[in-house]
Each structure stands twice: as structure tokens, then as C-alpha cells.
Structure 1
Amino acid sequence: MSVTARPAPPLDPAKFRDPRLTAKGEERAQVRLAALRTLWVNTGTLCNITCRHCYIESSPRNDALAYLGAAELEAYLAEIDREALPVEEVGFTGGEPFLNRDLPRMLEAVLARGLRALVLTNAMKPMRNHAAALLALRAAHGDRLTLRVSLDHHTAALHDQERQEGSFAQALAGLGWLARQGFHLHVAGRAGFGAEGEAAMRAGFARLFAAHGIPVDAADPVALMLFPEMDAGIDVPEITTACWGILRKSPESLMCASSRMVVKRRGAARPAVLACTLLPYDPQFELGATLAEAARPVPLNHPHCAKFCVLGGAACSR
């Protein structure tokens, strides 16, 4: 006998409205910046493909977040140096970061300071266009440069269903090139995509990696990150201050306790610093123009805060 899954209930419109209180009038949880360990840089929302469920709505036409320039990033790196901030890693996300022509210069600026650099990429043509620059960075800085390649699923059919026909083969070819050149690699997939459990997903990726000589440990939750689904329209509990004890979870385990993201909005005179990578368009999560201004606590006033970070246990960096 087959059982049809019930559709998830829609989000209660009374939820996530007040940054201080939940819909039930309870004190909303917030997260203070314990130490800035990871600085994320959104290089721009333009992408060479359009995915069906892209949380940031990247596409060949969406430039809501404009290209960030190397000089603009240098100002934040200078602030890190000047204030002796404990940043260990700078992550680059998009859009597709390799569409930004300043990316190699930005990576060199980060790596030359002794910091780690992480680039989230679909490993398609835009990345391959920067092959020479990537090889030079690899030769100069070794494993301090990590590339995290997006493979939504370990089969072409389901990956291409999300991205576009033929994208799996192109991404796998790019991943294979990176492996042969000795780059430090991670892979990002989607947890439960295709109605599989995590163990089956990891086993499928392990077979794929073995077949193509990809040196990624599919059992390692950092090397192969499986992200929970993100749908802000589905109902999810609000996180109160009491939840930390109930869930036996520390607020310092959340992304916004150790990271911030720099973006450049289209038409803006200067970049802004946001609470995290997941909420690029919600103005309540824009914290200031400098890292110092953005050091204030973050109320967990969005469904992504609850589902992705607290209940899903996900984070975009290690």
C-alpha cells in the first residue's frame, strides 16, 4: 500500500513579523557575533544558468547584487588587518563567482594575507575561462584555496532537473579538471533531493567520486555538504530564547555567530554588510557599511533562520 505524503502547511502569516517577539509573544532568540571567523563576499547575482529553486534567484539577467570590485574588498581586508579581527577564511559566492573578472585579484589579496579562501562554483565554463589564473593561485598558495562545486545530486537526471539539461556533465568535467590539477575540493549537494535519505545520498556520491577519480570523502560532512531545502513559504516553528535549552543547541553554532557577508546592491554607492549568506534581500538583515557596524546581534526573524540554521543544523562554511 502506498502512502501519499501530505503537503507541508503554509507559513503562518503572524510569524516572523516582530524582531523582538514571536507570534505567541515569547522572546525571540538572537545571536551575538562571538568572533568574526568567516567573511563572505557575494561577487554578484549574475549566473550562467538559471536553477529552479535558487534561494538568491541568480540568473543571466538578475544583477540585483552587482559585481563587487577588488578595491572594495580591499577596504574590508584592511579593516580586518587594522582591527586585528580573527578572520580565518574568506568565502566567495554568487551568482557564479567566476563571472566576476576581479575574482582572481580578490583571491590573491585574500591568500597573500595568509587567509584561507573558499569559492562556491558550478565548475562550468566561467570557471574554466580562469584556468590559468587558478593554476597560478594553486601554485602559489596550495590548499589554502578550496573550490566547492555544486552537484545537487549524484545522478545527471536529477541534477539537470534542478539546473538545466547538460549541466551535470559540464560540472563533472570541471570537477574532474580541478581534481587532476590537484586543487583542494569540496562538493555541495542537497539533502533528501530525490527522496533519498542522507546515507543513500552519501553512498551515491561516493560511487560517483570513485568512478571519476574525485578526491572527496563523501562521508565527511564538510567535504560533502548536504544542505537542507529552503522554502520560506512553508510553516516552521519560531525560535525563542527557551529553544536553546530545549534543543540543546548553542547560539554560537549558528553562522551569524561567526560570519558576515559583503554585498554590493545595484545602484548603491558602496557595499553593505549582511548578517549571513541566506538573506541577501531582507533589509532587516543589513547591518551596516563596515564590519564594526555589523557586529551587532542578529534576531532570528526569518524562516531560514529556523529551518536551515537552527533545526537543519546547516552552515555555509566549515
Structure 2
Amino acid sequence: MPDTALASQKFTDPVRTAKGETRATVFLRNLETLWFNTGTLCNLACANCYIESTPKNDSLVYLSTAEVERYLDEIALTGLGTREIGLTGGEPFMNPDCIKIMDMALSRGFKLLVLSNAMKPMQHKQAALLDLHKRFGDQLSLRISVDHFTPELHEEERGPRSFAPMLEGLGWLSRNGFNLSVAGRTRWTENEADLRRGYEKLFKAHGIEIDAHDPVRLILFPEMDDEAEVPEITTKCWNILHVNPDDMMCATSRMVVKRKGDDRPSVQACTLLAYDQRFNLGETLAEAAQDVPLNHPHCAKFCVLGGGSCSG
């Protein structure tokens, strides 16, 4: 088979790779983190948004408090032992039920991680955030997207006039003692040491209390490109690459989405694959407790080879 023909067969069969080898799968070891995509609408239209969020993209509609509550009830009723709830988007703070959802998750004892760009949608919720912080402290965490430590490269990704408002929101969170982390990107090919030194200077210059050399506080995510040439992951790869399948996101997490036009939300295997119906595992957490074939370029590049994970 010519190389071009072989390449066209990659990531198509959930059981076999294009070369006929057994595709790697990941077993749900334990549902440690349940993510909710609160909707794909966002105040920004980033150049390389993995979920294509924009101010007009409502492909994933807003989740309601009642819809989230059903999944939290299922966790309680079935004793899943889930410890963390994650909110992502789009921009979660654009969802009109966001604060109610946060309050509900925290009140039930979950750790809560919210991904945000820290701009106006979040800043308009400052009073509510201060109230949640007063009542729940470090049980609430926020991870802010700072794509690069320079305004020029951050705005190359996020768009003009996005750096200063982000810094304003990040600084406010830091001054008020919120449990914070930052998500950066590696798309500009600097080595990790240089990136961390650059972020360190930025944080010190603006009085932001984040240790840039702590990989939990500054997460540097590998890039995702559906068109990039990446190898398929076979069952043999775990030993060859010295990677443990239990370390993959889909071994410990799932994500709830609601597609436009659907009557009910459904559960995706992965936070990175919100649109791919091959990774739609059903409407309940019980249905979603099934093995996940690593049948997408993101599985290979971001998770297995890149070591990326969205969970806290």
C-alpha cells in the first residue's frame, strides 16, 4: 500500500491501525474528574482553539443547572467516588447558570476547577466569586489561559487587545488569594526552561503569586493539529514509550456536552474531542464507563506523546 494510501487509513478503525496492528485502548480506572462543557460560546475567537469557540459558535449549547445536577446525583447514587468537577467552554462565565453550577458542585463537596480567560465575563462575576472563595476557599481553583508571556505572541493566538484584560483578571484573582494556575502553550517552539523563565518574569512584574517552575501551577500544553503526521498508538507502544495507560485522561475523566438540537446532554470520552461522535459514550455516566480506543491524532500527540492532561 503506498504511503499516501496508508496515511488515509489512519485513525479510522477503532480496533486496528492502518498497518493492521492492535490499537491501544484505555480502560476507565476511576472517574476522578467529571468535566462539563458549559457551552462553546466565547468572548474570543482564538487562532488555534481546539473546540473552535467564538462569540457565534453555539454548536455546544449552554448546560443548565438542572442538567448538571442530574450527573452529580448519578455520582452520589452510584458511589463513583468522583473527587473533582471541571468547567470548560467556550468561556464558562458566559453561561448564565455558571455561578449556580459552581455553587452546587462546591456545596456537594467536590473540588472545582474552572478554566477561563479571566476577561470581562469573569470580571463581571467578581462579587459572586469572592463569596464562593470566602465559603469554600481552596476547594475552588481557577486555571487561566495565558498563551505566552509576551503580549505579541499571546495576542497572535487570542486576538488584539486580549493581553491587558487577561492580566487585569489574573491579577485580581491573585490579589484576592484564589487558588490559581496558568495554562500556557508550546506552539512557538521555545524550550521549557526558557518558557518558564519568561512566565516567571511576567508574574513577578505584576505581583501574581504563581510559581512558574511548578508544573502544576504553570501547565505548558502541547499543540494539537488534526492534520499533523503522528503515529497511531498500538498495544505495544505502552512498553516501547514507557507510558502507563492509567495516566491517560480517559482513564480518569469524562466530559458532559449538549449538542445544539439535542434534547439531553451526552458524555464524551475526552475533553479534547467534544464534536467527534465516535467518542460519544451515551447519556449517562454508567453508559460512559467503557474502554476508549485511541483512534484520533489528539490521543497520540497530546496525550500519549505529549503527556498532556486537562485535569487538575
TM-score by length of 1: 0.96
Partner SS state of residue 284, structure 2: coil
What residue number does 1:184 align with? Answer: 179
Alignment of 1:268 with 2:262, yes or no, is: yes
Alignment of 1:169 with 2:160, yes or no, is: no
Which of 213, 223, 235 is the matching residue for 1:241?
Answer: 235
What residue number does 1:218 align with? Answer: 212
Gaps of 5+ in 1: 1-8
Distance, in Å, in 2 between the alignment partners of 1:186 and 1:18 is 37
Partner SS state of residue 295, structure 1: coil
Which of 285, 288, 299 is the matching residue for 2:282?
Answer: 288
What residue number does 1:195 align with? Answer: 189
What residue number does 2:251 align with? Answer: 257
Superimposed CA distance per residue, residues 192-213 of structure 1 (whole angstroms, 9 cap, x where no aligned partner): x333111100010011111111
Superimposed CA distance per residue, residues 147-195 of structure 1 (whole angstroms, 9 cap, x where no aligned partner): 100000000000011111110111011000111111110000002x333
Superimposed CA distance per residue, residues 74-95 of structure 1 (whole angstroms, 9 cap, x where no aligned partner): 0000000001111111010000
* Aligned amino acid, residue 172 of structure 1: L
Distance, in Å, in 2 between the alignment partners of 1:119 and 1:16 is 31
The number of residues matched between the two structures is 309
Partner SS state of residue 196, structure 1: coil
What residue number does 1:51 align with? Answer: 46
Alignment of 1:298 with 2:292, yes or no, is: yes
> What are the within-5 Å matches in structure 2 for residues 55-134 of structure 1?
55-134=50-129
TM-score by length of 2: 0.97
What residue number does 2:272 align with? Answer: 278
Gaps of 5+ in 2: none
* Paired residues of 2:282 and 2:288 also in contact (CA < 8 A): yes
What residue number does 1:29 align with? Answer: 24
Alignment of 1:229 with 2:223, yes or no, is: yes
Q: Shift of the alpha carbon at 1:12?
A: 2.0
* Aligned amino acid, residue 240 of structure 2: I
Q: How many percent identity over aligned positions?
A: 60
Q: Shift of the alpha carbon at 1:132?
A: 1.0
Distance, in Å, in 2 between the alignment partners of 1:12 and 1:124 is 41
* Aligned amino acid, residue 245 of structure 2: P
Superimposed CA distance per residue, residues 250-271 of structure 1 (whole angstroms, 9 cap, x where no aligned partner): 1000000000000011111000
Q: Shift of the alpha carbon at 1:293?
A: 0.3
Distance, in Å, in 1 between the alignment partners of 2:258 and 2:79 is 24
Which of 275, 300, 310 is the matching residue for 2:304?
Answer: 310
